[in-house]
Amino acid sequence: MSEQPQFSIKIDQNRFLPEGGREVHAIVSVEATGAPASAMPDTAEAAEVIIIDTSGSMSYPDTKLRSAVAAAQTAVDTIRDGVYFAVVSGANSATMVYPHMARLVRADARTRVEAKHAVGRLQAQGGTAIGSWLRLADELFDSHQRGIRHAILLTDGNNQHETVEELDAALARCSGRFVCDCRGVGTDWEVAELRKISSALLGSVDIVADPQDLVADFQAMTEAAMGKAVADVMLRVWTPQAARLRFVKQVMPSVQDLTAKRMAAGPQAGDYPIGAWGSESRDYHISVEVPPGEVGKELRAAWVKLVVPGPAGQEPRVLATGNVLAQWTDDEAASTRINARVAHYTGQAELAEVIQEGLQARKDGDLETATARLGRAVRLADEAGNEAITTLLRKVVDVVDPVTGTVRLKKNVDKADEMSLDTRSTKTVRTRKGEG
């Protein structure tokens, strides 16, 4: 088995447009195969930073801190030999837990034992200033920018001890520097705030309502990070003159709008960061507005490449390419045909939006809007065959008819159920109901 994954790109679209038509949609499926599933090659330098919230609230109840300690120790045990790592304590400011100096150390039998011993001495006190935690992580990753860089951030509360502007500045500084998976333990943290952090840092966000589930979650996140083999992959999209790239979104395994993350990459081309990769597949939805054409004309609407940075002074390395096409026709049946995968993921993106809008309306007391949005969500989840989201929706609404989206809001909803629906609203499924 090769230690480096082999990348491929597949394009799904209906390339036919009516005369004068301008809007082109395509699903770009990226697959990496051949890399070890659970063990990163020794040749790939990697770094891991574990950030544990040690604010005073972590001791109410004290099972939160004790479970966080056990989870961090499990993560340390899961880091493979040779990976650089550190553990950080987060409160009003960030402090080093292991090692004591602000640097990373190589994982081996001795450093793991030392790290777990240091983590076992953590105590809860102080407030929450997440931006300062991220800034310290960024400093630790600074000398490892050529390798895979991953952080785990755990909190149980809101970012109360720094301003929104301070957190935003930290996110702007850290964006593109490392990937960060965020977890909220309990129900006293803000989903939108943690989602903002994970989105900026290309990571995942989820709730761990029961602290006892932290160990398994930390182990899974660390194993996934250890399975990455290629860092800093970019989706490079070129479009012809007079065309406009409307958006680039990741749509599988979760919805994440990448449009604002564009970095110029030459004439009419932009790079969109998609993080580190192991053996896995992800789907992206690209929409391009092209100049109107006459019947019979063909056009390359977008040229998609996967690239990674090359050695200093050299061009980026191209891993795979694909073309998004446009062809104008007077065949109405061809031009009006809806590509099934484009329709599927368009519905999944809308599903995430209406769930978040519905939950916010419910929180604001606008029950009419909440019922309409969450009813629409039930219908979209049913059409997509998204059983996981359907199950979560049924904990918030009583479903009268999933086909029409007729629902009634439940009067008493567990806060953990509501937050689970919110955090997982962006997770998608690949196949539609009734398909393979």
> Collapsing DSSP states into helix, strand and coil, what is residue 26?
strand
Asked if the peptide bond before residue 99 counts as cis, ω within 30 degrees of 0, the response is: yes
Alpha helices in 281-414 (DSSP H): 332-335, 340-364, 367-384, 387-393
Cα(28)–Cα(236) distance, rounded to whole angstroms? 12
Cα(142)–Cα(301) distance, rounded to whole angstroms? 38
Strands (E), 156-308: 179-185, 205-208, 234-238, 244-252, 256-257, 263-264, 269-273, 280-289, 298-308
Return the residue matching tokens 């996934």. 224
C-alpha 193: how far from chain center: 14
Cα(353)–Cα(53) distance, rounded to whole angstroms? 29
Cα(324)–Cα(57) distance, rounded to whole angstroms? 51
C-alpha 249: how far from chain center: 11
313 φ/ψ angles, rounded to the nearest 5 degrees: 85, 0
Give the DSSP letter of residue 365.
T
Cα(404)–Cα(399) distance, rounded to whole angstroms? 10
Give kind and range of the element (H or E) at residue 320.
strand 317-329
pLDDT < 50 regions, the chain: 1-2, 37-42, 433-434, 436
> To the nearest 10°, the Cα dihedral for 346, 221, 202, 360?
60
Give the DSSP letter of residue 242.
T
Residue 309 gets the label, from left (phi > 0), alpha (psi -120 to 50) or beta, of: beta
C-alpha 27: how far from chain center: 18
Residue 241, classified by CB atoms within 10 Å of its CB into exposed (0-12), middle (13-18) or buried (19+), is exposed
pLDDT reported for residue 325: 98
Residue 315 in tokens:
């061009």
Asked if the peptide bond before residue 240 counts as cis, ω within 30 degrees of 0, the response is: no
pLDDT reported for residue 432: 55
pLDDT reported for residue 233: 96
pLDDT reported for residue 309: 86
Tally DSSP H helices, then E strands, for the chain.
Answer: 11, 20
pLDDT reported for residue 41: 47
48 φ/ψ angles, rounded to the nearest 5 degrees: -135, 130
Based on C-alpha coordinates, what's the Rg of the chain? 23
CB 273 within 8 A of CB 176: yes
CB 249 within 8 A of CB 255: yes
> Collapsing DSSP states into helix, strand and coil, what is residue 319?
strand
Return the residue matching tokens 């063909």. 298
Q: Give one DSSP letter per residue of 256-281, joined into a string.
A: EE-GGG-EE-STTEEEEE---BSSEE
Residue 358 in tokens:
């519905």
> Collapsing DSSP states into helix, strand and coil, what is residue 432?
coil
Cα(15)–Cα(21) distance, rounded to whole angstroms? 11
Q: Report yes or no on whether pTM surpasses 0.85.
A: yes
pLDDT reported for residue 3: 63
282 φ/ψ angles, rounded to the nearest 5 degrees: -140, 155
Cα(116)–Cα(121) distance, rounded to whole angstroms? 9
